[in-house]
Structure formats: structure tokens, C-alpha cells
Chains A and B, each alone.
Chain A
Amino acid sequence: MTMKTFKSVTAMALALVMLVSLMTACSSNNSKPGDGKEQPGTNAPHSKVVIPFWITPQDTGITAWFRKWTNEFNQSHDGVEVKLEFVPQDAWQQKLKAAQSNGTAPQIAYTNYASIPMSVEEGMYAALDDYMDPKLFEDLYGNIKEIVSIGDNHYSYPVFVEPYQLLFYRKDFFEEVGLDPESPPTSWKQLIDMAAQLTKQGRFGLAVPGSGDVAWTHWAFQNMIGHFPISDDWSHATVNDESYRELFSFWKTLYDEKVVPKQALSEAWDIKPLAEGRVAMGFNGSWAIGNLKNEYADIADKVGVAVAPTPDGITEGKTTAALGGYALTLDGKAKNPKEAAEFISYLVAGDPQIMKEFFETSQYSKFSARQSVDELINKEPGVSDDPYRDIILKQVIPFAKPEPWYSFDISSIYGTALETVISNGVPVDDALAKLEKDINDYIKVHNYANKNPKQNQ
């Protein structure tokens, strides 16, 4: 490249820079993200309270729902503007922490239940009771109300819940091998036997979570067998006992009998392998119902949903699932907590019709935490006939327990232990003994004993 070319390129570049800077300088309003103040140049006669509300990207229907009702609220509430901002999932924590660092954390955030208690310990979220009518919390189902409270205070209001695990199964494959499509397995032994019958070339009997997903999907099984691997006061490991031995052995048998693929065919939450017929049954969560109805509508009616099988085969009135989902939280340092809480009350705790619309857009594959909303939904023609909904509402959610709120590290340690049994052939007893030691070590190093914010509930 000659000197002349270089010079002309530099000149062009500088011109480009000036152009771009001018463009962006004029169009950007140069305010700090999340400022609670009015933007210069707008023509509001008095200062408006701006409330940033962050949420991760959602599907088309739910996105529209959030936009619509945020607008409705803003129009009907003079002087308050809730500013909806979508933040990409993969950068959520980084952007959130950055905003916390300069005091511009969103006043309202879309948060998952499990992360809330420990964050409350840090002061990250404010109790809603000072700003919301206590009656609104009475509308919540008992076990869900528990999830959002610490002691006598409530630190979030649910948007929805989604239980997992459920057993999804292909009725057509059941028929194919001579099994009754209306009698899915109810015990672990039955599950293994039926899976064996359903396994053939190119199709596995059962899909189970792969290595990356064991840590969280097993919360459902831990709820099922009755306790987490750590004691309620977080002082010692409770994993080296008969019920965990049974769980680990069950899991190992699935692989030994080759009824599950050695490597998960998809991520744990993905119903695709079942829909594609590469597996005959699979554990998944209630969200999969939405996927089936939207993307795999042509085989949706061939898929049955059942309560997850239990160790002893009793599925009536038993805990078989963990309750995941999202809630709205109020920032601990929110500048306008009263107005922010007003929005929360309006959007998710207010007129049941608004929430009914939310569930409608997701074709009732997400589930309400509020009794009044469910009453309204059940009146909708065709809804109460929905077999999926029936099972989940009557047999799963009422008995489901929360996801754990201790550090995810412990779940990782658990997941690794289970994987050593599957991938490295470590005997179950040894793995459990080591797991117990690892968890106890963790508790010691982190001084975890008695740190459970909810241990006296």
C-alpha cells in the first residue's frame, strides 16, 4: 500500500467517523441508562417518575402482553412511566450487576424464585408488604405463597409457576408395543420395564437430562424422595441415606439397561427428541406443553402427560415435582418503591382478567399462582377438558415443592457425583460417601451452617 493510499484511507475513515459520531450524538439522548429522571426535551409539564422494568426476551405473544399492559398502566397512571426494557438472557447478570454498581438497578425485575432468598440476604430486594395490600398475597396458593415469603414478609409476587418433572410419553409408541396408552408407568421399576419394551433400533425408551442439566433437574427428584442433599439448617449433608441410594441406583439402572441414550439427545428442557420419535418417553416440565402445541402441533395429540413415577408407585397426593417459574421483584434500593409496587399490584396481582390473558397467549401451558385467576380460566370453554391441565392443576402443582435456594455450587457437586456413577463407573455407595464429604467440606469452608434465611419457617 502506498503512502497516498494510506492517506486517502485515513481521510475517508476520519470523514466516516465524524459522520457516525454526528449521527449517533444527535440521535442518542445521552442519558445514563435507567435514570429515574426526565429526559431533557420531552414536554411533560411536571417531572415524571420513570420506573425501569427489566425482563428477558420472551416469545411473541408474551412480549405483546407485557407491552400492552405496561402501556395501559402508563396511560391510566399519570405521572408514572414504567419503562419496559428487554435484556438478553446471556448478559442479564452482567448488566444487572453493572447497573447495581452505579445505583441504576431496575426497580422491577423478572426474577426466578430460587435466586431470591439469598439475594434478599444481600439486601437486593425489598419486602413488598410495605407497599402492597396484604390481601393480594392471600390469593396465592398456599405452597406458592410459601415460596415467595421469608418469615412474615413477601419478597416477590409470582407471574407464573411451571412444575417439573412430568412424564411425557408417546401414546402411539405405547400402542405399537402393546402397552396401554392410558396407563403410563407409576413406579420407577415400571418405568424401567416399559422403557425397555419401548426401546428399539433408532429409538430409546426414555429421555433423561444430560450431564449439564442433572444439577437442576434433579431438584424434582429430590423433592420427590423428600429432602434435599443438605439439612434444613444447612449444617450438614443428608445425602448418604437409603432414599438417595435408591435414587442413584435407579438412575444407574436406566443407563445399565440401555433404555436411555448414553448422551442426551437434547437439552433437558427440550421436548424435541420426543416429538421427533427418537425417544418414547421423557422427563420434562410443563413448558413443554406449550412447545408441543406451538411447534409440534401435528403430533401433540399423540403425546400423553402423566405425573412422574415415584419410587413406590404411589402418585396420588404425592410430591413429584419442583416448582420453577418467575416473579416480579422490587429492588432494595428502588427510588420509587411505592409506584413500582403499584405497577406490580396492577400487572400480576390485580384484575384476574389481565393475568388470564397472559396464560391465554401461552395456550395455558404456564400455570397461575393465584386462585382467582385459575377460577376465571376454568370458566373458559374447553379449558377444563384439557387433559394436560387437569393433571397438572390437580395432581402436580398442589403437592409440588420449591426449588432449593442454597448455593448452586452444592447442586453442582451433587450433579458431578451422580455423573461419576454413570460415566466413570463409581459404585453408588462410594459416590454417596464422597458426595457427603464434599458437601460437608463446602459447608465448612463457606461457614454455611445456620445461614438458611428460611430455616425457621
Chain B
Amino acid sequence: MNESRKARYIANLIGIFVALIALFPLIWMTISGFKKREEVLSFPFRFFPKEWNFQNYVDIIMNSTSFFPDGASFMTSMFVTFGVAVFCVIFSLLLNSMAAYVFARLEFPFKKFLWLYYMLTMFIPGIAIYITGFMIVDMLNMTNTFWVLTLPGLAYVWSVFFVRQFYLNIPMALEEAALLDGATRFRIYWSIFLPLSVPPFVIMGMNVFLGYWSAFLWPVMTISDPSLYQINQLLMFFKAQRNTEWQYIMAGASIASVPPIVLMLMFQKYIIQGIKLSGIK
């Protein structure tokens, strides 16, 4: 008993140390939001501002900076980006795990070819398909809509790959029993595999959420309607060629970091010990 108490104590200590290192930049960023522009990156390094300046945060939320284009609003952007990200997380997890199940469990003609087809997309660098991708969404008349922000990245083979590796670890026994009872494959996927997917879903889910939450280049290329601006796109208006409004970027980025962190707080508890094998032998 004493051994494990000691082990836990040490683990906690190291954990807190590492956590603080990870947390430090976030704290610095948030505090920098209270500084005046020159103070943010000044030397000598000052952690706290000379005066706590709430105006930056207020300006951003109230849209009273001159840097946002007409019709763009910080809070609207937060909502729209959140809507996009949540939509994408749910459907990405669903669609990609379906593919993961198929590749992990089913046998069918052309399986190898299809797996290669899917895998190929994992290695396409973004630069290779920005312009031609734009040409396609333009042909489909999708630009400036909710769909151009969500559909192109929805099929995400890294997700398929990751979830598949988890599915490969699920023992056949569970399925055989269900199959004997006459269940369809889809039913097995829906009722057995999905519930067991929670830990990989949390990880991939956060990954996908962050990907959409921090999207910048694609939204700039495809969206010119200010009411659809994604949050990172909006914050970049503070950056001119030689003139970065650091105080606003820090303040804005701090506010923008709240939803992903809150989500992570809510869902990290689902990364738990698997229980799938208990009772089956």
C-alpha cells in the first residue's frame, strides 16, 4: 500500500510540473491581452502589465477596433466557428468510424485497392490541392457557404486509421455472438463498436475540433461574407505586414482558446480504462 501511495505522490508531482510548463504560455498569452501593444514583446521581459488594461478585451468583443471588416463580429464568428467545428466533429467521427469498421472487420472485393485509395489521401500536402480544391468548390457553387467550411475536410483518413487500430483490438468473440444471433454488420457497428469507441473518439474528436477551430487559410480563400468569418481568420486582421496588434491578438486568442479547453475538460474523463473484456471468456 505504501509503495503505490509513494508512486502516486511522485507521479502527481511530476504531472503538476509538466502541466505548469504546458500552461505557462496560455497564462502569458491571457495576461498579455491586458497590456498595451509595445508592452507585449518588450525587453526586459515583464510578465505583468504596467497597468491592467481591460479595453483590449472590451474592444474585441464589442467590435470597436478598426480592424474588422464591416459586418464582421467577434462573437458571431465564435458561434459560427463553433457550429462548424461541432458539426464536423460529429459527422467526422461517425463517417470515418464507419469506414474504420469496414476496413477492420469486413472482407469484400477490392478491399486492398480501396484501402490504398483511402491511405493515399493521408499524404497529400495541403499546398498541392489548395488551388485545385478551390476550383472544385467553386464549380460546385459552394463558396461562401457553411458547406465549403465543413464538407471538404470531413472525410479524414487519419481518423479512419486511428479508429481502425482500436477496432482491430476488439476481440472477435463479441461479434461472433451477435452474428449468431442474426445481427447485421451495421447493427454490430452501431451497437457494439460505437459505444466502445469513446476513448479514440475523444482524441480524434478533439483533433478534428481543433483543426476546424483554428482554420485560417481555407476560410480566407473561400469565404468573403463577413458573417461567416472563422475566428482565426478574423484574428488575422490584426496582423499587417509590419504592424502586428499584439495586444489584440493575445486578447482575442485567449478568448478563442476557451471553447476547446472547456471541451477538453468535459471530455477528458472519457479516456478511461476499457471494460470490454470483463465477463467474456
Residue in A13, A32, A269, A270 whose beta carbon sits within 8 Å of that of B143 in the complex: A32
Chain B nearest CB, measured from A171 CB (Å): 21
B181 contacts A by Cβ under 8 Å? no
CA separation between A6 and B191, bound complex, in Å? 11
* Interface of chain B: mostly helix, strand, loop or mixed: helix
Query: Is B80 a contact partner of A24 (Cβ separation < 8 A)?
Result: yes
* Interface of chain A: mostly helix, strand, loop or mixed: helix
Residue in A58, A101, A287 whose beta carbon sits within 8 Å of that of B135 in the complex: A101
Chain B nearest CB, measured from A89 CB (Å): 5
Q: Report if A102-B134 is in contact (Cβ < 8 Å); known contacts: A57-B67, A64-B66, A94-B217.
A: yes
Query: Is B220 a contact partner of A95 (Cβ separation < 8 A)?
Result: yes
Per-residue contact bits, chain B 196-231, to A (CB 8 Å; 1 contact, 0 not): 001000000000000000001100111111011000
CA separation between A287 and B241, bound complex, in Å? 11
Per-residue contact bits, chain A 90-109, to B (CB 8 Å; 1 contact, 0 not): 11001101100110000000
Chain B residues with Cβ below 8 Å from A60 are 66-67
Residue in A1, A21, A57, A295 whose beta carbon sits within 8 Å of that of B239 in the complex: A57
Query: Is A57 a contact partner of B237 (Cβ separation < 8 A)?
Result: yes
Interface size class of A (residues with CB under 8 A): 35 or more
A134 contacts B by Cβ under 8 Å? no
Listed residue (B79, B138, B216) with the most chain A CB atoms within 10 angstroms of its CB = B138
Query: Is A58 a contact partner of B224 (Cβ separation < 8 A)?
Result: no
Query: Is A20 a contact partner of B80 (Cβ separation < 8 A)?
Result: yes
How many pairs, one residue from A and one from B, have CB atoms within 8 Å of each other in the complex?
Answer: 131
The residue in chain A whose Cβ has the minimal distance to the Cβ of B190 is: A3
Chain B nearest CB, measured from A105 CB (Å): 13
Chain A residues with Cβ below 8 Å from B221 are 91, 94-95, 98
Chain A residues with Cβ below 8 Å from B227 are 24, 27-28
Per-residue contact bits, chain A 54-90, to B (CB 8 Å; 1 contact, 0 not): 0011111001100000000000000000000111111
Chain A nearest CB, measured from B92 CB (Å): 12
Query: Is A269 a contact partner of B146 (Cβ separation < 8 A)?
Result: no
B47 contacts A by Cβ under 8 Å? no
The residue in chain B whose Cβ has the minimal distance to the Cβ of A13 is: B90
Chain B residues with Cβ below 8 Å from A287 are 242
Residue in B42, B43, B90, B243 whose beta carbon sits within 8 Å of that of A59 in the complex: B243
B51 contacts A by Cβ under 8 Å? no
Chain A residues with Cβ below 8 Å from B83 are 16-17, 19-20
Query: Is A29 a contact partner of B220 (Cβ separation < 8 A)?
Result: no
A276 contacts B by Cβ under 8 Å? yes
Listed residue (A19, A56, A91, A278) with the most chain B CB atoms within 10 angstroms of its CB = A91
Residue in A6, A17, A20, A295 whose beta carbon sits within 8 Å of that of B195 in the complex: A6
B240 contacts A by Cβ under 8 Å? yes
Query: Is B241 a contact partner of A56 (Cβ separation < 8 A)?
Result: yes
B37 contacts A by Cβ under 8 Å? yes
Query: Is B69 a contact partner of A85 (Cβ separation < 8 A)?
Result: yes
Query: Is A2 a contact partner of B195 (Cβ separation < 8 A)?
Result: yes
Chain A residues with Cβ below 8 Å from B145 are 24-25, 28, 30
Query: Is B240 a contact partner of A57 (Cβ separation < 8 A)?
Result: yes
Chain B residues with Cβ below 8 Å from A91 are 216-217, 220-221, 236
B34 contacts A by Cβ under 8 Å? no
Residue in A21, A63, A296 whose beta carbon sits within 8 Å of that of B38 in the complex: A296
CA separation between A89 and B243, bound complex, in Å? 11
Per-residue contact bits, chain B 70-96, to A (CB 8 Å; 1 contact, 0 not): 000000000110011011001000000
Query: Is B144 a contact partner of A63 (Cβ separation < 8 A)?
Result: no
Per-residue contact bits, chain A 165-180, to B (CB 8 Å; 1 contact, 0 not): 0000000000000000
Closest 9 CB pairs of A and B: A20-B83, A33-B224, A91-B220, A88-B236, A98-B134, A13-B90, A60-B66, A57-B240, A28-B225
7 residue pairs from A and B, CB less than 8 Å apart: A1-B195, A23-B80, A24-B80, A28-B225, A34-B224, A85-B69, A272-B41
